[in-house]
A and B are shown apart, each in its own frame.
Chain A
Amino acid sequence: MAVRTIEKADAEDRRQRLIIISLFSLGILVLSYLVYDYMRIINRTTLPEDFDAIDPIVAQWRAEGLVDSFDAAQAKVVVNEAEWDRKDRDEKIGIVTQLARYCAEKSPDRKWRITVLGKRSLVVLGEIGHSGLRVQ
Protein backbone atom coordinates (compact mmCIF):
# COMPACT_ATOMS: atom_id res chain seq x y z
CA MET A 1 0.00 0.00 0.00
CA ALA A 2 1.41 3.36 -1.04
CA VAL A 3 2.21 5.79 1.74
CA ARG A 4 0.96 9.41 1.34
CA THR A 5 2.68 12.05 3.34
CA ILE A 6 0.70 14.95 4.84
CA GLU A 7 2.56 17.41 2.54
CA LYS A 8 1.62 15.39 -0.54
CA ALA A 9 -2.02 15.11 0.56
CA ASP A 10 -2.15 18.89 1.19
CA ALA A 11 -0.62 19.59 -2.22
CA GLU A 12 -3.16 17.28 -3.90
CA ASP A 13 -5.97 18.98 -1.96
CA ARG A 14 -4.79 22.44 -3.11
CA ARG A 15 -4.52 21.19 -6.70
CA GLN A 16 -8.07 19.83 -6.63
CA ARG A 17 -9.39 23.07 -5.12
CA LEU A 18 -7.68 25.02 -7.88
CA ILE A 19 -9.26 22.75 -10.52
CA ILE A 20 -12.71 23.20 -8.90
CA ILE A 21 -12.36 27.00 -8.79
CA SER A 22 -11.13 27.09 -12.43
CA LEU A 23 -13.96 24.86 -13.66
CA PHE A 24 -16.52 26.83 -11.68
CA SER A 25 -15.23 30.14 -13.10
CA LEU A 26 -15.21 28.73 -16.63
CA GLY A 27 -18.77 27.45 -16.16
CA ILE A 28 -19.96 30.85 -14.91
CA LEU A 29 -18.23 32.59 -17.84
CA VAL A 30 -19.79 30.31 -20.48
CA LEU A 31 -23.18 30.45 -18.77
CA SER A 32 -23.03 34.27 -18.71
CA TYR A 33 -22.35 34.29 -22.46
CA LEU A 34 -25.35 32.02 -23.08
CA VAL A 35 -27.62 34.15 -20.87
CA TYR A 36 -26.37 37.33 -22.61
CA ASP A 37 -27.01 35.74 -26.02
CA TYR A 38 -30.52 34.69 -24.93
CA MET A 39 -31.34 38.14 -23.49
CA ARG A 40 -30.23 39.72 -26.78
CA ILE A 41 -32.72 37.75 -28.85
CA ILE A 42 -35.64 37.32 -26.45
CA ASN A 43 -38.75 39.23 -27.48
CA ARG A 44 -37.13 40.14 -30.81
CA THR A 45 -39.79 41.12 -33.33
CA THR A 46 -39.34 39.84 -36.85
CA LEU A 47 -42.12 39.63 -39.39
CA PRO A 48 -42.09 36.43 -41.45
CA GLU A 49 -41.61 36.38 -45.21
CA ASP A 50 -45.02 34.77 -45.77
CA PHE A 51 -47.74 37.43 -46.18
CA ASP A 52 -50.42 35.07 -44.80
CA ALA A 53 -48.75 35.34 -41.38
CA ILE A 54 -48.84 39.15 -41.32
CA ASP A 55 -52.53 39.69 -40.46
CA PRO A 56 -52.49 37.47 -37.34
CA ILE A 57 -49.31 39.17 -36.11
CA VAL A 58 -50.77 42.65 -36.63
CA ALA A 59 -53.94 41.51 -34.81
CA GLN A 60 -51.75 40.31 -31.94
CA TRP A 61 -49.88 43.65 -31.88
CA ARG A 62 -53.23 45.43 -31.77
CA ALA A 63 -54.21 43.31 -28.76
CA GLU A 64 -50.86 44.03 -27.11
CA GLY A 65 -51.21 47.77 -27.71
CA LEU A 66 -48.35 48.27 -30.15
CA VAL A 67 -50.57 48.91 -33.15
CA ASP A 68 -53.62 51.15 -32.90
CA SER A 69 -54.73 50.81 -36.52
CA PHE A 70 -53.41 49.38 -39.76
CA ASP A 71 -54.83 50.36 -43.13
CA ALA A 72 -53.18 48.31 -45.87
CA ALA A 73 -55.01 50.14 -48.66
CA GLN A 74 -53.80 53.54 -47.42
CA ALA A 75 -50.43 52.04 -46.37
CA LYS A 76 -50.74 53.65 -42.97
CA VAL A 77 -50.02 52.26 -39.50
CA VAL A 78 -50.76 54.13 -36.29
CA VAL A 79 -48.70 52.91 -33.35
CA ASN A 80 -48.38 53.56 -29.65
CA GLU A 81 -45.20 55.65 -29.36
CA ALA A 82 -44.10 54.16 -26.03
CA GLU A 83 -44.38 50.58 -27.34
CA TRP A 84 -42.75 51.53 -30.66
CA ASP A 85 -39.78 53.11 -28.89
CA ARG A 86 -39.14 49.85 -27.05
CA LYS A 87 -38.17 48.23 -30.36
CA ASP A 88 -34.64 48.70 -31.55
CA ARG A 89 -33.87 50.39 -34.88
CA ASP A 90 -33.20 47.12 -36.75
CA GLU A 91 -36.55 45.71 -35.66
CA LYS A 92 -38.34 48.92 -36.72
CA ILE A 93 -36.68 48.80 -40.16
CA GLY A 94 -37.75 45.16 -40.51
CA ILE A 95 -41.35 45.93 -39.54
CA VAL A 96 -41.61 49.00 -41.81
CA THR A 97 -40.14 47.21 -44.83
CA GLN A 98 -42.20 44.05 -44.51
CA LEU A 99 -45.44 46.01 -43.98
CA ALA A 100 -44.58 48.19 -47.00
CA ARG A 101 -44.11 45.08 -49.12
CA TYR A 102 -47.36 43.65 -47.74
CA CYS A 103 -49.22 46.86 -48.66
CA ALA A 104 -47.61 46.80 -52.12
CA GLU A 105 -49.10 43.34 -52.70
CA LYS A 106 -52.54 44.87 -52.16
CA SER A 107 -51.97 47.98 -54.25
CA PRO A 108 -52.25 48.11 -58.04
CA ASP A 109 -48.92 49.88 -58.67
CA ARG A 110 -46.98 47.40 -56.50
CA LYS A 111 -44.79 50.17 -55.06
CA TRP A 112 -43.52 49.74 -51.49
CA ARG A 113 -45.22 52.44 -49.45
CA ILE A 114 -45.91 52.76 -45.75
CA THR A 115 -46.21 55.51 -43.16
CA VAL A 116 -45.91 54.78 -39.45
CA LEU A 117 -47.57 57.47 -37.35
CA GLY A 118 -47.51 58.01 -33.60
CA LYS A 119 -50.98 57.68 -32.04
CA ARG A 120 -50.79 60.76 -29.81
CA SER A 121 -48.20 62.94 -31.54
CA LEU A 122 -49.14 62.01 -35.15
CA VAL A 123 -45.42 62.34 -35.90
CA VAL A 124 -44.08 60.17 -38.72
CA LEU A 125 -42.03 57.54 -36.89
CA GLY A 126 -41.05 55.63 -39.98
CA GLU A 127 -41.81 55.47 -43.65
CA ILE A 128 -40.99 54.11 -47.02
CA GLY A 129 -41.88 56.70 -49.60
CA HIS A 130 -40.43 58.67 -52.48
CA SER A 131 -37.35 59.56 -50.46
CA GLY A 132 -36.72 55.95 -49.48
CA LEU A 133 -36.56 54.21 -46.14
CA ARG A 134 -36.63 56.42 -43.07
CA VAL A 135 -37.01 55.26 -39.48
CA GLN A 136 -36.67 57.42 -36.37
Chain B
Amino acid sequence: MGAQQLLIIVLITFVVGLGIVTGIKLVSSFNQSNERDMMLVQMGVIVGEAKKHYSSPKSIGGGEGSFVGFTPSARLTNTDRLRIYLDINQGHIIFQGFGSVEGWDGATPVQLIAQWDQALADWSTITPVN
Protein backbone atom coordinates (compact mmCIF):
# COMPACT_ATOMS: atom_id res chain seq x y z
CA MET B 1 0.00 0.00 0.00
CA GLY B 2 1.40 3.34 -1.04
CA ALA B 3 1.89 6.37 1.20
CA GLN B 4 -0.95 8.23 -0.53
CA GLN B 5 -3.41 5.42 0.10
CA LEU B 6 -2.33 5.27 3.73
CA LEU B 7 -2.88 9.03 4.01
CA ILE B 8 -6.36 8.64 2.48
CA ILE B 9 -7.26 6.01 5.10
CA VAL B 10 -5.98 8.25 7.92
CA LEU B 11 -7.90 11.25 6.56
CA ILE B 12 -11.11 9.22 6.13
CA THR B 13 -10.83 8.01 9.75
CA PHE B 14 -10.22 11.60 10.91
CA VAL B 15 -13.15 13.04 8.92
CA VAL B 16 -15.53 10.26 10.02
CA GLY B 17 -14.51 10.90 13.66
CA LEU B 18 -15.13 14.62 13.28
CA GLY B 19 -18.42 13.87 11.55
CA ILE B 20 -19.59 11.74 14.47
CA VAL B 21 -18.65 14.46 17.00
CA THR B 22 -20.41 17.12 14.89
CA GLY B 23 -23.48 14.90 14.54
CA ILE B 24 -23.69 14.42 18.30
CA LYS B 25 -23.33 18.20 18.77
CA LEU B 26 -26.04 18.92 16.20
CA VAL B 27 -28.48 16.47 17.81
CA SER B 28 -27.76 17.97 21.22
CA SER B 29 -28.25 21.48 19.80
CA PHE B 30 -31.57 20.37 18.24
CA ASN B 31 -32.72 18.95 21.61
CA GLN B 32 -31.81 22.20 23.37
CA SER B 33 -33.60 24.29 20.77
CA ASN B 34 -36.64 22.01 20.96
CA GLU B 35 -36.77 22.35 24.73
CA ARG B 36 -36.49 26.16 24.57
CA ASP B 37 -39.38 26.22 22.07
CA MET B 38 -41.41 23.94 24.33
CA MET B 39 -40.68 26.26 27.26
CA LEU B 40 -41.87 29.31 25.35
CA VAL B 41 -45.06 27.51 24.32
CA GLN B 42 -45.69 26.57 27.97
CA MET B 43 -45.07 30.17 29.04
CA GLY B 44 -47.57 31.25 26.38
CA VAL B 45 -50.16 28.89 27.88
CA ILE B 46 -49.55 30.42 31.32
CA VAL B 47 -49.88 33.93 29.83
CA GLY B 48 -53.24 32.85 28.37
CA GLU B 49 -54.43 31.83 31.85
CA ALA B 50 -53.01 35.04 33.34
CA LYS B 51 -54.86 37.14 30.77
CA LYS B 52 -58.15 35.56 31.84
CA HIS B 53 -57.36 36.68 35.40
CA TYR B 54 -56.29 40.13 34.15
CA SER B 55 -59.57 40.76 32.35
CA SER B 56 -61.90 39.28 35.00
CA PRO B 57 -63.62 41.62 37.49
CA LYS B 58 -62.55 41.56 41.11
CA SER B 59 -66.04 40.47 42.14
CA ILE B 60 -65.35 37.01 40.69
CA GLY B 61 -61.76 36.84 41.90
CA GLY B 62 -60.10 38.38 38.85
CA GLY B 63 -57.42 41.03 38.67
CA GLU B 64 -59.45 43.70 36.86
CA GLY B 65 -56.54 45.16 34.91
CA SER B 66 -53.79 43.55 36.96
CA PHE B 67 -52.00 40.23 36.98
CA VAL B 68 -51.55 40.46 40.76
CA GLY B 69 -53.32 37.59 42.48
CA PHE B 70 -52.90 35.20 39.56
CA THR B 71 -51.57 31.80 40.58
CA PRO B 72 -50.87 29.32 37.81
CA SER B 73 -51.66 25.68 38.47
CA ALA B 74 -48.66 23.52 39.35
CA ARG B 75 -49.26 21.25 36.34
CA LEU B 76 -48.49 24.22 34.09
CA THR B 77 -45.31 25.31 35.83
CA ASN B 78 -43.89 21.93 36.72
CA THR B 79 -43.94 19.22 34.09
CA ASP B 80 -41.77 16.15 33.54
CA ARG B 81 -39.27 18.16 31.54
CA LEU B 82 -39.80 21.81 32.49
CA ARG B 83 -39.80 23.97 35.58
CA ILE B 84 -41.10 27.50 35.18
CA TYR B 85 -40.83 30.21 37.83
CA LEU B 86 -42.82 33.44 37.64
CA ASP B 87 -42.75 36.91 39.09
CA ILE B 88 -46.22 38.37 38.74
CA ASN B 89 -46.65 42.13 38.68
CA GLN B 90 -49.39 44.62 37.84
CA GLY B 91 -48.79 44.79 34.09
CA HIS B 92 -46.04 42.29 33.40
CA ILE B 93 -44.91 38.79 34.25
CA ILE B 94 -41.30 37.65 34.27
CA PHE B 95 -40.71 33.97 33.51
CA GLN B 96 -37.64 31.89 34.16
CA GLY B 97 -37.78 28.39 32.74
CA PHE B 98 -35.44 25.45 33.16
CA GLY B 99 -35.43 22.37 30.96
CA SER B 100 -34.06 18.89 31.47
CA VAL B 101 -31.29 18.70 28.87
CA GLU B 102 -27.91 20.36 29.36
CA GLY B 103 -27.60 23.79 27.80
CA TRP B 104 -24.72 25.49 25.99
CA ASP B 105 -22.48 25.52 29.06
CA GLY B 106 -22.61 21.71 29.23
CA ALA B 107 -23.23 21.81 32.98
CA THR B 108 -26.60 23.38 33.82
CA PRO B 109 -29.97 22.76 32.13
CA VAL B 110 -31.39 24.76 29.26
CA GLN B 111 -32.70 28.08 30.54
CA LEU B 112 -35.03 30.66 29.00
CA ILE B 113 -36.07 34.00 30.44
CA ALA B 114 -39.03 35.91 29.07
CA GLN B 115 -41.15 38.87 30.08
CA TRP B 116 -44.76 39.33 29.03
CA ASP B 117 -45.79 42.98 28.90
CA GLN B 118 -49.53 43.53 28.89
CA ALA B 119 -49.17 47.15 27.67
CA LEU B 120 -47.49 45.80 24.53
CA ALA B 121 -49.70 42.70 24.52
CA ASP B 122 -46.52 40.85 23.59
CA TRP B 123 -43.25 39.48 24.91
CA SER B 124 -40.88 42.36 25.63
CA THR B 125 -37.99 39.98 26.33
CA ILE B 126 -37.26 36.44 25.21
CA THR B 127 -33.73 35.44 26.13
CA PRO B 128 -32.21 31.98 25.76
CA VAL B 129 -29.75 32.14 28.66
CA ASN B 130 -28.39 28.62 28.33
Contact = CB atoms under 8 A, between A and B. Distances in A.
Interface residues of A, number: 37
A37 B5 contact: no
Interface stretch (A20-28, A60-68, A69-77, A116-124): A20-28
Given A23-B14, A101-B96, A132-B92, 11 more contacts: A16-B4, A20-B7, A23-B11, A23-B15, A41-B105, A49-B98, A49-B108, A93-B125, A101-B87, A104-B87, A133-B125
Interface in A1-56: 13, 16-17, 19-20, 23-24, 26-27, 30-31, 33-34, 37, 40-41, 44, 46-49
B22 A90 contact: no
B86 to A, nearest CB: 9
Contacts, number: 95
B87 A93 contact: no
Interface of A: 13, 16-17, 19-20, 23-24, 26-27, 30-31, 33-34, 37, 40-41, 44, 46-49, 89-91, 93-94, 97-98, 100-101, 104, 111-112, 128, 130, 132-133
B104 A40 contact: yes
Interface residues of B, number: 38
B19 interface: yes
